[in-house]
């Protein structure tokens, strides 16, 4: 009894208040709770009184008040910032920082120290416009992406069943709206929505693997007692259910004592939320950014010194060096990546695929192995009971149907499709009335070691009947007798062999088979355990049919053509699974069962798993082992599951995939939710994931190669020119226009050939691409320097504006056109055409670059009209640039067998 008040006081000590701004860590919280457990003693009514609630629950008004007081029931996690914070952040980047610095210098030189007749605000106004345009473009892209991501998250919600005084019956509410004092009802498959204390339960078994790492479920009850052994963990108490755990079987009700960040899981999450592990994709993006930053750190000081020494204007040299640094900084990379991922997630949602975690899109596209269950994926998920047989295989043995119906009807675990089929068939055949002759006493829940479930029922004579159903081979091992025309006979080796042959024959015909057994014992007031499942009498068998889906054959073929290998991981036996695979066109290379996997080391399992198609009679932990074994071989593994037992594998897979009808724990563990459990839907999502990844890689390779080439161009120009090759403001303007042209990349087309193969992050490929492709632009920049110097005689300080304008136009056009050259390994415009947004945006930017010198804005940024002959030469230089790039592309593809 001491526990209750102790726990309540412990929880209230953690709840937010005006005097408390910090939350205790989980270890401190547990120490405090254990001291309170030892110090206080109370009864259950006192417990409810301290929570200011009752068994009927809170009123709606009180629940709303507490929601305002304690906040939403959600643990610490990354949230999209408010729009005004995003707006401010959009203006906090190196590009705008340098513009501000140049604006301040211009304010000083053009206004404060200038002569009255020379005072000018034009440059400052232009810089201000560039700041506003750049910041708003970035803000709009990221704001749209975050809004889209939040809308997708709202499509997948988890609810809990609560009691409220205003409602006669329990009803569903989002778990985020739960508050301390709410009364919650639990059933199999539910996530425990908050820390709570039970006041009623029946055969309630909870998986605490998320908190303890222990795979076996723990029984929870309203027995207010200390744990049998001394403990330092609150979740060891039998009456406590902690947020983040899940119900495996049984039912229960309890009062919530803590929500959100004040739960045990929440206190852990606070410390972990700041240390989210980076995916391969995150690390790859970071490596690209740092690579460019290293170039910048190495080259910018050299640029500064060269220009300072040769031009003797150190302030101008400093501004130019800083502008070059900004030009080398991929400041739009986060925006482009986020926009790509959000656009991909929205496109996938239209294909009945909801992305919970945006970065999972990359792994989705890279996935080359898909592990999935048979039921509902290969089959129609419409199981029907066709036969109920005696031990000899004679049909329509009514006692089999009776005992099977009683077992499925009275069990409190999550009713699977077999249970639903038995109950539906039983009702159609007038079995509903038999339940009136029995009263449930106890239940021995299903687990994946025993592979059976039993209920204990009291009949009208007062005796207890243990009715067990499960895998035939498991039932046979605990049965000593069998029924023959209602008479009990000892089981012999011959009977066992005949039973095995019967089951195998049914399996080969595609039937799933379970066995039914029972025994009658004298009534005892005690809990029943698996040890009571012995000396049973085999009653007979039930045979079920789950036909394959018509669309599966086409879907498996499509996945195979797209480089994805399908592997079946099932709890069913290998014979049924093999037959279904044959019917849907899935070629079976090898089969292994769970009992054989137990004997293998991780290394041995990895060796066998690669060439195995069917994993049969598999336990939840073995599912995780199989996933990890496949990952150890360098595969990107997706796991599709919707059951309680799939949660560990969903977490361990590179891409956890579930369905919207899955149990809570499966949906919470998944990265991606399918609105239809269909491999065709999955295949469409994979293609969309590859499109998203492809467009991200396009931008990264364009940016790295362009920036790499610019480094050499600037070094050459700085060393040999008596003036700056381009004004700082011109560099920033060119950079802004180029970035604007890239904002259309998320909407670009991707070649079908690229989509047909899984795509992984390859940092070495990016570095190689940058080194080979980047210098092409430098060649044409240097050619431009020579032509402008010798042909157009822009070789003095007085004619520097002509030189700078000529390089500005060439640089902008080649950077814009390279989008079309790099986006495909084919010949652009002829064999592969960009999407309309990309064509329009790049054309617009190229047009702006061409006409800018002739506008009133041109002189304000140092651009002047160019001679007519320049444009004839410009056509030649652009065509030459495209031709050389295409030739290098062809050579590169032949040499390295890849492009993007």
| Enzyme catalytic residues | 373
Q: Given the DSSP bridges, would you call strands 565-569 and 369-372 parallel, antiparallel or unpaired? A: parallel
Q: Given the DSSP bridges, would you call strands 183-187 and 159-163 parallel, antiparallel or unpaired? A: antiparallel
Please list the residues that pair with 384 across neighbouring strands: 545
Do 90 and 142 form a contact (C-beta atoms < 8 A)?
A: yes
Can you tell me the distance from the alpha carbon of 268 to that of 793, in angstroms, rounded to the nearest whole number?
A: 69
Can you tell me the distance from the alpha carbon of 384 to that of 141, in angstroms, rounded to the nearest whole number?
A: 51
Listed in sequence order, the residues at least 6 apart from 113 whose beta carbon sits closer than 8 Å to its beta carbon are none
Query: Which is nearest to 637 in space by CA: 538, 589, 580, 567?
Result: 567
Q: Given the DSSP bridges, would you call strands 464-470 and 511-521 parallel, antiparallel or unpaired? A: antiparallel
Whole-angstrom CA distances from 218 to 190, 215, 222, 787 are 15, 9, 13, 80
Classify residue 49 by burial, with Cβ atoms within 10 Å: 0-12, 13-18, 19+.
middle
Query: Which is nearest to 63 in space by CA: 169, 176, 154, 186?
Result: 176
Can you tell me the distance from the alpha carbon of 100 to that of 128, in angstroms, rounded to the nearest whole number?
A: 8
Instruction: Specify whether the backbone of 189 is left (phi greater than 0), alpha (psi in -120 to 50) or beta.
Output: left
Classify residue 18 by burial, with Cβ atoms within 10 Å: 0-12, 13-18, 19+.
exposed
Instruction: Specify whether the backbone of 181 is left (phi greater than 0), alpha (psi in -120 to 50) or beta.
Output: left
Do 752 and 818 form a contact (C-beta atoms < 8 A)?
A: no
Backbone angles phi, psi at 268, to 5 degrees: -70, -45
H-type helices in 185-254, by residue range?
A: 209-212
Tell me 379's DSSP state. B
Can you tell me the distance from the alpha carbon of 876 to that of 694, in angstroms, rounded to the nearest whole number?
A: 31
- For residue 188, count other CB atoms closer than 10 A to its CB: 23
Can you tell me the distance from the alpha carbon of 276 to that of 882, in angstroms, rounded to the nearest whole number?
A: 43
Element (H, E) at 531: none
SS3 359: coil
Do 330 and 707 form a contact (C-beta atoms < 8 A)?
A: yes
Can you tell me the distance from the alpha carbon of 814 to that of 825, in angstroms, rounded to the nearest whole number?
A: 18
Q: Burial letters for 258-286: b for 16+ Cβ neighbours within 10 Å, e otherwise?
A: bbbbbbbbbbbbeeeeeeeeebbbeebbe
Token digits of residue 874: 């410009």
Instruction: Output the DSSP codes for 330-341.
Output: -TTHHHHHHHHH
The angle, 0 to 180 degrees and rounded to 10, between the axes of the packed helices 280-311 and 314-328 is 160
Do 774 and 705 form a contact (C-beta atoms < 8 A)?
A: yes
Q: In angstroms, how far apart are the furthest CA atoms of the chain?
A: 118
- Tell me the CB-side half-sphere exposure of residue 611, using CA atoms within 13 A: 5
Chain centroid to Cα 684, Å, comes to 17
- For residue 202, count other CB atoms closer than 10 A to its CB: 14
Listed in sequence order, the residues at least 6 apart from 564 whose beta carbon sits closer than 8 Å to its beta carbon are 367, 368, 369, 370, 683, 686, 758
Do 878 and 814 form a contact (C-beta atoms < 8 A)?
A: yes
Instruction: Output the DSSP codes for 754-773.
Output: HHTS-----HHHHHHHHHHH
């Amino acid at each position: 009894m001491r526990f209750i008040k102790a726990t309540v006081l412990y929880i209230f000590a953690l709840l937010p208040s005006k005097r408390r701004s910090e939350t205790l860590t989980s270890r401190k919280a547990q120490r405090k709770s254990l001291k309170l457990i030892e110090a206080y003693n109370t009864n259950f009514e006192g417990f409810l009184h301290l929570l200011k609630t009752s068994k009927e629950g809170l009123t709606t008004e009180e629940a709303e008040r507490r929601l305002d007081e304690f906040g939403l029931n959600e643990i610490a996690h990354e949230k999209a910032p408010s729009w005004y914070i995003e707006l401010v952040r959009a203006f906090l980047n190196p590009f705008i920082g340098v513009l501000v610095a140049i604006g301040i210098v211009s304010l000083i030189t053009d206004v404060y120290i200038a002569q009255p007749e020379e005072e000018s605000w034009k440059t400052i106004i232009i810089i201000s416009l560039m700041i506003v345009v750049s910041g708003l473009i970035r803000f709009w892209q990221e704001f749209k992406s975050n809004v889209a991501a939040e809308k997708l998250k709202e499509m997948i919600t988890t609810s809990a069943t609560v009691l409220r005084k205003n409602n006669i019956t329990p009803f569903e509410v989002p778990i985020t709206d739960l508050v301390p004092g709410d009364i919650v009802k639990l059933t199999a498959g539910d996530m425990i929505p908050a820390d709570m204390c039970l006041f009623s339960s029946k055969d309630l078994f909870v998986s605490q693997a998320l908190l303890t790492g222990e795979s076996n479920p723990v029984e929870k009850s309203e027995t207010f007692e200390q744990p049998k052994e001394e403990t330092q963990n609150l979740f060891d108490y039998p009456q406590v259910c902690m947020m983040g755990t899940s119900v495996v079987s049984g039912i229960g009700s309890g009062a919530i004592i803590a929500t959100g960040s004040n739960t045990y899981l929440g206190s852990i999450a606070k410390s972990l939320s700041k240390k989210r592990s980076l995916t391969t994709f995150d690390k790859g993006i970071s490596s690209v950014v740092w690579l460019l930053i290293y170039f910048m750190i190495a080259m910018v000081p050299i640029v500064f010194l060269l220009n300072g020494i040769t031009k003797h204007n150190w302030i101008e040299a400093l501004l130019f060096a800083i502008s070059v640094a900004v030009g080398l900084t991929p400041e739009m990379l986060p925006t482009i990546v986020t926009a790509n991922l959000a656009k991909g997630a929205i496109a996938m949602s239209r294909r009945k695929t909801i992305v919970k975690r945006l970065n999972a899109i990359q792994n989705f596209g890279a996935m080359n192995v898909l592990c999935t269950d048979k039921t509902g994926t290969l089959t129609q998920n419409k199981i029907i009971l066709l036969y109920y047989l005696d031990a000899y295989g004679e049909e329509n043995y009514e006692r089999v149907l009776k005992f099977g119906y009683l077992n499925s009807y009275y069990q409190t675990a999550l009713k699977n499709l077999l249970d639903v089929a038995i109950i539906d068939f039983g009702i159609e055949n007038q079995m509903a009335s038999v339940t009136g002759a029995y009263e449930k006493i106890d239940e021995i829940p299903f687990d994946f070691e025993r592979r059976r479930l039993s209920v204990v029922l009291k009949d009208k004579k007062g005796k207890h009947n243990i009715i067990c159903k499960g895998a035939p081979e498991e039932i046979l091992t605990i049965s000593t007798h069998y029924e023959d025309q209602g008479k009990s006979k000892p089981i012999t080796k011959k009977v066992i062999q005949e039973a095995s042959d019967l089951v195998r024959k049914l399996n080969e015909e595609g039937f799933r088979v379970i066995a039914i057994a029972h025994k009658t014992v004298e009534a005892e007031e005690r809990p029943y355990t698996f040890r009571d499942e012995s000396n049973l009498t085999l009653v007979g068998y039930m045979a079920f049919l789950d036909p394959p889906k018509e669309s599966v054959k086409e879907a498996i073929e499509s996945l195979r053509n797209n480089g994805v290998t399908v592997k079946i991981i099932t709890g069913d036996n290998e014979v049924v699974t093999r037959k279904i695979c044959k019917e849907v066109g899935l070629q079976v290379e090898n089969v292994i069962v769970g009992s054989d996997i137990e004997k293998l080391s991780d290394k041995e399992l990895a060796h066998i798993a690669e060439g195995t198609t069917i994993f049969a009679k598999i336990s939840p932990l073995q599912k995780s082992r199989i996933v990890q074994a496949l990952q150890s071989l360098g595969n990107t593994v997706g796991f599709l599951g919707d059951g309680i037992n799939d949660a560990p594998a969903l977490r361990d897979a590179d891409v956890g995939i579930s369905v919207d009808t899955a149990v809570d724990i499966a949906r919470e563990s998944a990265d991606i939710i399918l609105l239809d459990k269909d491999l065709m839907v999955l295949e469409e999502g994979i293609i969309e994931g590859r499109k998203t990844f492809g467009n991200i890689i396009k931008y990264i390779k364009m940016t790295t190669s362009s920036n790499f080439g610019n480094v050499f161009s600037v070094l050459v120009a700085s060393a040999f020119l008596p003036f700056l090759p381009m004004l700082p403001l011109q560099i920033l303007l060119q950079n802004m226009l180029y970035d604007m042209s890239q904002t259309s990349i998320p909407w670009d087309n991707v070649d079908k050939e690229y989509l047909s193969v899984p795509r992984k992050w390859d940092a070495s490929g990016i570095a190689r691409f940058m080194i080979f492709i980047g210098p092409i632009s430098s060649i044409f920049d240097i050619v431009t320097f020579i032509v402008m110097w010798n042909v157009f005689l822009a070789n003095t300080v007085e004619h520097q504006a002509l030189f700078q304008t000529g390089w500005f136009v060439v640089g902008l056009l080649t950077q814009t056109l390279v989008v079309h050259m790099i986006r495909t390994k084919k010949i652009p415009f002829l064999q592969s055409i960009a999407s309309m947004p990309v064509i329009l945006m790049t054309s617009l930017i190229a047009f702006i670059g061409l006409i800018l010198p002739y506008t009133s804005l041109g002189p304000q940024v140092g651009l002047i009209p160019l001679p007519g002959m320049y444009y004839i030469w410009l056509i030649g230089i652009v065509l030459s640039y495209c031709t050389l790039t295409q030739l290098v592309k062809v050579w590169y593809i032949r040499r390295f067998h890849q492009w993007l």
